[in-house]
Each structure stands twice: as C-alpha cells, then as structure tokens.
Structure 1
Amino acid sequence: MAGNCEYHCQWSRNRLDYNYSDAVIFHLYNNIDRRDFVLHQLPERKNSDQKWVLMAKEPPAFFYSDQLKLLNDEFNLTMTFLTDADVSIPLGHATRNLDRAFFSFEWNPKKKLIAWMASNCITSSIREPLVKELQKYINVDVFGACGDHGNGGGKKRDEFKEVLAGQYRFYLALENSDCDEYITEKFGRNLQLGMIPIVKGRRALYSKFAPPNSFFHADAFTSVETLAKYLERVASNPVELRQYHEWRSTYEVFHHSFTSNHNWPCDLCTEDTTLKEKP
C-alpha cells in the first residue's frame, strides 16, 4: 500500500485471484464497434460478498446510456473523477503554496501564438467551431489527427507537449465533453509547462479549479474576434503577459493520469468496512 494509510490491503493484477478477492475493479471503456461489450465482458460473480467497483475515466457522453442503466444493479462502488463518487480520483488540482521560491518572470520571445493537439475531431462539446472561427483572426497551429502540422514525429504525447511549450505562448485546452468536474490533463499539464490555456464551457468549473488569472475563457469575450485581438495584445506585451504567470509564485498545479499521484487504494479500503484490515 503506497502512502500513509491505516489499513493494510493487498492488491493483485492476477486474474487467478478473482474468486478470492474482497473487491474487484472494472475499468469501463467505450468501443464504438462493440455496443454490447459491457455485458459480455462481465464475469460471473462467484462470491456474493465480493464488492464490484466501476472505474471510469471518461464522462458519460463516451458511453451508451442504455448500457450504463443495465449496470446499475451490478456494481457496489464507483471510482471516477467526480467528487461525489465513492472513490474520487480527480485528474488534476491546484494547491496554494506560500513557501514557493520567489517567482521571476523572464520575457521569452516565443515566435508562435496558439497550439492545439487533438485526435478526436467530432466531439459532444462542439469545440471544433471555436477553433475554425479563431483561425480566421489569429494563427492557430493544429497537431494530431485534426490538423495538418503532424503528430510529433514519433515523440510521445507528453514529450511533444514539452516541445510545443517551448514554441507557443497559448494552448487550446478544449475538452471533448462538457461535463461537471471534467477537467483533464489538457488544462493542468499545459499550465505546468508554461503555456496559458484557452478554454470554453463551464466557466465556474475552471475558476474553481485553476489559480487566479491563469487562463483565458472564450465565453468571457463578446466575440471570437475580440478574443483573438486580446491574445495578440497580451502576447506582445511583457507587462500584460506577466499577469497571467504571477500565480506561479503562490500556487502549484498538478495533473495526473487516472490513478497516479493519488492515494486511491487507501480511499477504496476505507470506503467499505468489509475491506478494512487494521494493522
């Protein structure tokens, strides 16, 4: 068990341990070519006391609603990015840290303005029209399957994001789904790397999660053209640009994959008394 936890639980990835486990985690994913994958992949529950945990890292829009309803009576606990899940695993967070070293802003004459990297080109959040409209007024370089600027030349996604951060001031951190509490690494990772995210949808959610004055929200502007003009002005003005980086002197932003940097095993053990075994 990683981290500080008052309960000792043993974890296994060996499917042979299934029948002897107090709890089993099922990772729900979506495959558009197999509509009935959910029910066909569920094994027989051998032990009536065994807890089934439904883990999902994507929002509801990614799944078939009728299939999800069929699972209502199958699972005992949920593990998702939502704060009201039985075990909440957020995809990122910001922490105020007054002990951080004094922030020193250095003017970096990056030549490029806005980057966007995406592989899902038709989304429920309808982010695509914003990108196309923005491109009418300002240069936006699109990478991945949705653009014509390549996909990193074989570099891993995180490695390529670091390359982009050295060239671009801003990043379009547009989620593929507009869902409560759904903020992925698109936002936090690029804040970490030094780019200023541009977002849309659920403005209050970003304001709650992010450090103050750390991002641009498209809905805060009267038009996309107004947003584009403002971005050009900020990019060329060191004083204004600094204002969007000053939060770095008092805040830290963390992004993480679904189960990293989080003591979810202890949270799961703590959630139900049948899983607890005090040392």
Structure 2
Amino acid sequence: MELKTSSRVCQNVLITAALSICFSAIFYTYYEPTVNCLNQPTVSRPNSCRDICINALKMPNLTEMVNNTCIVNITSVSNLFTQTEPVPPTDPDTILLIWMWPMGFKFDLGLCSSLFNIHGCRLTDNRDQFNSAHGVLFHHSDIRGDLSNMPTLPRPPFQKWIWMNMESPSNSAKRSTLNNLFNLTSTYRLDSDITVPYGRISEKTGGNTTFTIPNKDKLVCWIVSNWNSNHKRSQYYENLRQYIRVEAYGRGFRRPVSNEGYSDLVSSCKFYLSFENSIHKDYITEKLYYPLKLGTVPVVLGPPRKNYEELIPGNAFIHVDDFLSPKELAEHLKLLDQNEDLYRQYFTWREHFVASTTYFGPEHACWACDHVRRYKNYRVVSDLNSWYWG
C-alpha cells in the first residue's frame, strides 16, 4: 500500500514538474521568440511543446524512488526543451558515413588500416549515425536527379559532404542541383581535393629489381565490351587493323573474357590497346594500369602524352599521337616485334617501379576519411558543374 502511495506521489510530482516546464516553454514561446520550440528543427525535438509534455510523462527514466521519496530528474526533462543542433562527436576516431554504396558495390568497412595504413578512421553505412559523422560520402551516379535519396536532416556544421565520381564528364549526368551542395571532391582528377587515380606507379621496396617479361604468343590485343562506332577509339581501331592483326575480345566482338582468364590473356600479348572511351584531362583508367601490371606494353589513346607522363614513366607506353597515322603506328609495332632489344626498352622502368590498380570504393572512402581527419578547413564546392563538366 505504501509503495502504491509513493508511486502516485512520484507521478504527481512528475506531472507537476512537467507542467511547470511546459508552462515555462509556453511562456517563452510567446514572450521570447528566440527560444520558441515550435520554430526549432524537427530533427532535434518533437513537433510541439504539447508533444514534449506528453512524452515526458511516458518516460520512466525521468523519475526514481530513493528511500520512499520520489526524485524527479529535472535535467532530463529539461533536456527535451534544450536540444540544439548536433555538436561534434567526442569519438576519438573520424567517422565517415557511406550514404550510398558506389554502384551497389559493398566492401569490408575495416580495410583502411590493413590496406592503406590509415588509422583513426571508422567507416560506417549506418544512417542513424548521420548526426555524429564527420564526413558523408556520396557516389554521383547513385544520386537521384531530384535528390530524393539524399539526407533530409539538417547537416551538422562540422560535417563534410564528399562528392565521389570515377566516370568521365562524357559518361556522367550533369545536374544543376549539385552546386553548393558539397564540401569536397573525390575523383580521378589531379585537381580533386581527394585524388584517387585508377592505378599507381610506386617505387619498389626491397632489393629485388629483376623483372621477367611474360611469354608472348600474340602481337596486339584489345578487349572491349562497350562498342560504339562513334567513339574515337572504335574509329582508330578500324583503321589500325587494316595494317596489323589485332586480336579483339569482349562482348563487343562476341568473344567474352572471364575475370579468371583476363590476366592470362593480357599478359600473353606484346601490346595492348589501352583506348579510353572518352578523352578528358586525367581520365586514364585501368585500361592502362592492368597491362602495365601484367607485363604488357600499353598503346594508349586518351589525353595528351604530357598528361600520361604526370602519372607514369614516358618509356612505359606508346601513344597513338606519336605517329602521323595508324599505318605508321602499325609499322612501329611490327619493328618492335622483330627487335627484342628495342621491345625490352619499354620495361626498363620495372627495375625501380611497380604498377598497381585501385581498390574501387575502399580507397575513396578511406582516403576521404583520412582527409577529413587531417584537414579541418572550411570549404564549399560552389560550382561543381563548371569545374567538372566545364
């Protein structure tokens, strides 16, 4: 009986406290507009002071019994009225929220330290952590045109939004709604805030500098699935094959190549046509880096040679622009086929360097998180369209 009486007393005290705070809130609503809870963002508080009062009466953790005395946690009740914009989290790790998996490709969220030696970063795809995330990563092609799949909550002032895109401007939909939306860019371009190329040339570690050229039984190879007769690469190929045999594979030629068979095929070719599907500054893709990695000389069609030489040694590849015509290129390839010493000159860079390809997705997320962790400066990408599409 005594316990029931105490409970009723506790409930009455809680109601009195809640009503008192509600009265204060209502008072300030009308006499102090700057703290009007009705005008605060709905993300951080209930819809009205009335809802807060009702919710307060439903929360059992706001009261406790101590020595048969009802204790009301006024601070907890008051916090319902004083919640504000999210504040920077106290988590020692930098949190990067992957808002949308790039092209639906999921990867292990714990790879940053093991793959890239990046520490102090924590990746997550849990959208409930939006308010505490230091950065949020968005993949361009997964953003809807009307932005309906973008966050609807107000962005915390400390949070960076990172725009990720690995497609060229020709293969990316231009959207006017993206201006003034992001703080950082992560693309293949060298002038991005977070540059993630399709591959890299790195110095060798260790004492072993020897490289053995794989056995070759094909002269020129090309694998293409996205065949478009209007592409410059398609037109160049049609001219080139009149003067030299090109082993063409891929869906475009009804000769598909499996993932398992790709490496063996490319390494068996003396030359590989590393032709890009569109020509843009810095747009140098895995079509170059895989042949380099597998011990094949790439013949490139893309941005100017000078752009390639910003990323790889000049004697590691052959550029179509070095020749006046496809016929001259074909004659040069035939010469190299007959002269082993000249051919080996394209592998001298392997004495000191190795080629690698990018981990699509993990590298963008990890390096973006590392950038946000290191650099706290304020920045807004005001005109993304002009910068990327020009």
2:152 to 36, 44, 52: 44
CA-CA distance at 1:232 after TM superposition: 1.4
Contact 1:103 1:246 in 2 (8 A): no
2:178 equivalent in structure 1: 71
CA-CA distance at 1:229 after TM superposition: 1.3
Matches within 5 A, 1:122-201: 122=228, 126-148=232-254, 150-152=255-257, 155-156=258-259, 159-201=260-302
The root-mean-square deviation of aligned C-alpha atoms, in Å, is: 2.7
What amino acid maps onto 1:14 in structure 2? N
Contact 2:214 2:295 in 1 (8 A): no
The answer as to 2:386 corresponding to 1:268 is no
Name the CA shift for 1:134/1:91 in 2 (closer, same or farther; >3 Å).
Answer: same
Name the CA shift for 1:106/1:188 in 2 (closer, same or farther; >3 Å).
Answer: closer
Name the CA shift for 1:29/1:90 in 2 (closer, same or farther; >3 Å).
Answer: same
Separation of aligned partners in 2, 1:107 and 1:257: 24
2:164 equivalent in structure 1: 55
Separation of aligned partners in 2, 1:261 and 1:52: 17
CA-CA distance at 1:187 after TM superposition: 0.6
Name the CA shift for 1:97/1:91 in 2 (closer, same or farther; >3 Å).
Answer: same
What amino acid maps onto 2:189 in structure 1? L
Larger Rg: 2
Contact 1:99 1:250 in 2 (8 A): no
More helix by share: 2
Task: Specify the SS of the correspondent of 1:161.
Answer: helix
What amino acid maps onto 1:271 in structure 2? Y
CA-CA distance at 1:45 after TM superposition: 3.3
* Corresponding residue pairs, total: 261
Separation of aligned partners in 2, 1:257 and 1:200: 23
Contact 1:27 1:54 in 2 (8 A): yes
Contact 2:164 2:186 in 1 (8 A): yes
Name the CA shift for 1:165/1:238 in 2 (closer, same or farther; >3 Å).
Answer: same
CA-CA distance at 1:234 after TM superposition: 0.7
2:137 equivalent in structure 1: 25
Give 5+ residue unaligned stretches, structure 2. 1-111, 379-390
Name the CA shift for 1:9/1:105 in 2 (closer, same or farther; >3 Å).
Answer: closer
CA-CA distance at 1:8 after TM superposition: 2.8
Higher relative contact order (CA 8 A, sep 6+): 1
Separation of aligned partners in 2, 1:123 and 1:30: 28
Contact 1:86 1:271 in 2 (8 A): no
Name the CA shift for 1:209/1:19 in 2 (closer, same or farther; >3 Å).
Answer: same
What amino acid maps onto 1:268 in structure 2? V
Please, what TM-score do these two structures have when normalized by structure 1? 0.82
Name the CA shift for 1:107/1:15 in 2 (closer, same or farther; >3 Å).
Answer: closer
The answer as to 2:123 corresponding to 1:16 is no
Separation of aligned partners in 1, 2:185 and 2:312: 26
Task: Specify the SS of the correspondent of 1:209.
Answer: coil
Task: Specify the SS of the correspondent of 2:309.
Answer: helix
Name the CA shift for 1:175/1:102 in 2 (closer, same or farther; >3 Å).
Answer: same
What amino acid maps onto 1:61 in structure 2? S
What are the Cα deviations for residues 164-188 of structure 1, in whole angstroms up to 9, with x where unaligned? 1342111111111211112111111
The answer as to 2:299 corresponding to 1:211 is no
1:87 to 177, 188, 194: 194
Separation of aligned partners in 2, 1:235 and 1:107: 14
Name the CA shift for 1:175/1:107 in 2 (closer, same or farther; >3 Å).
Answer: closer
Give 5+ residue unaligned stretches, structure 1. 275-279
Contact 1:57 1:258 in 2 (8 A): no
2:345 to 225, 235, 243: 243
Percentage identity across paired residues of the two chains: 31
1:277 equivalent in structure 2: none
Separation of aligned partners in 2, 1:192 and 1:44: 44
Name the CA shift for 1:266/1:104 in 2 (closer, same or farther; >3 Å).
Answer: closer
CA-CA distance at 1:273 after TM superposition: 5.8
Contact 2:226 2:251 in 1 (8 A): yes
